[in-house]
Each structure stands twice: as structure tokens, then as C-alpha cells.
Amino acid sequence: MSITVSTPSSPSLNTQIQTEEETAVIERLKNMALVPNPTVIEGPLFAEVDMGGDASSPTVRATVVQAATVFYDTPATLDKAERLLAEAASYGSQLIVFPEAFIGGYPRGSNFGVTIGNRTAKGKEEFRKYHASAIDVPGPEVDRLAAMAGKYKVYLVMGVIERDGYTLYCTVLFFDSQGRYLGKHRKVMPTALERIIWGFGDGSTIPVFETPIGKIGAAICWENRMPLLRTAMYAKGIEIYCAPTADSRDVWQASMTHIALEGGCFVLSANQFCRRKDYPPPPEYVFSGTEEELMPDSVVCAGGSAIISPSGTVLAGPNYEGEALISADLDLGEVARAKFDFDVVGHYSRPEILSLVVKDHPMAPVSFTSASGNRKLSQATGTSVTDI
């Protein structure tokens, strides 16, 4: 707004008075301006938005171990596990996942002398030795694994063969970085001939542990192909889905990618890489049907361990070359970004049409009720349980 002021010819006093009045008018008009004088701002008008990670989207370095058991030698296998754990921790790993049955061994190629209607004496002796290589949970080997996790300040997911009386279970144990044992998952469905040597887990050991580095759980080998088991884990909020396995086929990678996409979670698949010489020689240990074709350096399990993101991107692996530590950095913000697309137990569910009930209490085969009716004893574990 422009103001024009004319100065009349008048005595100097009147001129001074008029000048003061004119100045006051000009100031009033300035205050009435529709557009105020702009304020000078230094720097950009809008702050730049950083689309990268931040404190609300932490990054976790994870490692899957691809290595062979020292078969029938649990103390030596524990020593090997500690060496691998120390090496992974030296690279900055915060979470380390071992293969299925790493402690106790995966009895690849063995049939334990079983045919329908018959079990051989040699097969029974093989089972005795296998049973002796398994570990009690809890037990001294569990204590040592916990100490390892605490020593190297890592979260540890370890595949073991668990001995409960005279029944064996294919189990995963979980430990935190403070050296505490968190719990276990027992394989709910052994595959094919595995059923002659391993028992069946129940719904009481399908945990997902909430930790500072994310919600961690596990499913073992082909139980990963069970949609209802996966759904139960998704419902518990799993973010880091560990998949110890014994399957080294190419098609396994398709399952792992599908689970990552379906669950909106990171999938960490750990498998052994082993050669014939990693097992005892014949006749002590025989690969049924293929022993004559195998040389000591023949690969009997090719690994294929991998880490896959919630978007289905392969972050590391699959590795088919040999024993290895396979690592990747997990941006946990990827979980929320994936769930925005598809949340299988959230906005993409239809519970009024499809729902799942999980029986998550222990299924003891035998219970003894006291006279008062409020105490029971599990025959398998000798544990006293109070009725609810």
C-alpha cells in the first residue's frame, strides 16, 4: 500500500504539526496492511525428512551358523559351538541361530534297523548311542550353552536333541544375552522316519519371546510347512522367525520366502553342511541305500542357509559351498512396513469366517492325582503340577 503526502505552504509550526499528524496516519495505515512485511527466514523453509532408520527402528545383526555336528560326541560339539559363537560375536552379531539337531546330531541316512514288524539288534544299539548323545533340559549342557550366550553377550537359538526319560525330542533352546535360559520349542511333527526316534511336541512349547532385539520364535524343518502352526506364531507377534532345518533342497528357499512374506517377519534358516566323513565310518554308521556310492568327502547335506527380509528380499545366502557364518543386518522397521501391506492375523484376517484354536497346555500321558485332588505327577518328567 503506497501513501502520498503533500506538504502545504504554511508557517513552520503548522508544517511541524501537519508533519506529525501525517506520520501518525502513515503508521496507522501500515498497521492496516493486508499483507504484513515478510519475515526473513534463514535456511530451508521445510526440514528435510530422513527416510532411513532411527531409534524407533533398530537394526539387529544376525548370524545363521552352517556347520556339522561332531556326531556321537556331544562335548566336542559343544566346544565347536563355542568357537563358532565366539567368531560370530567378534563380527558384531547379536543373534546367532544354529541348525536343527546341532547338539546331539541329525541321524541322516540311518534307519535304526527298522522295518515294519521288526527292529534289529544293531538298530537298537544305534538308538542307545544316539540317546546317550542327547541332552537333558535342564541339564549341564544347557547350563554351558547359557554361559556361552552370557560370555559373548548374544541371543542364542540352538537346535538340540532333548532327552526326556527314554524319549527323544527334536528341540530348539533359547538363551538371552545375559546368559539366561528362556525356554524351548519341541518339534510338533517329526517327518517320516524321524517319528521312530523322536517324540511329538505339544502346544505348550510354541513360544515367542519378547526381547530387546525383537520377538523371537522358531519352527523346525518341515513343521514350517504347517499353516496352522505358522498362524499360531504370527498371532504371538513373531518378528524374527528362526527356521533350523535339515532340508538343503532348492525348493526350501521358496518356503522360507513365502513365510517371510506371509508373516511379515525376518526368516533365519540354518542348516548343517556336512560330508560323509562328518559321520562315523561304516560299519558303525551306515547311510542306508547310498553307502556304496559315498566317498569320505561326499556332501551329504549341502546347507542352503539363508536370511530373508519381511519383503521377501534375500539378505544373505543361500550358501551351498561349505561350513560358514552367514550374517545380515535386520532393520526391524521392515516389519511394520510389511504389515502395512499384509497382516495375516490383523487387518487381513476374517475371524468371523476362519479362526484357529490352539491348545497350549502340556499334554502329559500319565497323571497321578493325590487324595486331596489338587496334585498331579507327570510320569515322563517327575514334575509335580498343581491343578487349576
Residues tagged active-site: 100
Residue closest to 216 by CA, chosen among 197, 244, 255 = 244
Q: Which residues contact 279 (CB under 8 A, 6 or more apart)?
A: 71, 108, 109, 285, 287, 300
Q: Residue 103 gets which letter from DSSP?
A: B
379: its cell numbers = 510320569
Greatest alpha-carbon pair distance for the chain in Å reads 135
Q: Are 132 and 124 in contact (CB under 8 A)?
A: no
- Cis ω before 318 (30° cut-off from 0): yes
Residue closest to 254 by CA, chosen among 208, 216, 219, 304 = 304
Q: Are 209 and 178 in contact (CB under 8 A)?
A: no
What is the per-residue burial (b if ≥16 Cβ within 10 Å, else e) of 99-117? bbbbbbbbbbbbbbbbeee
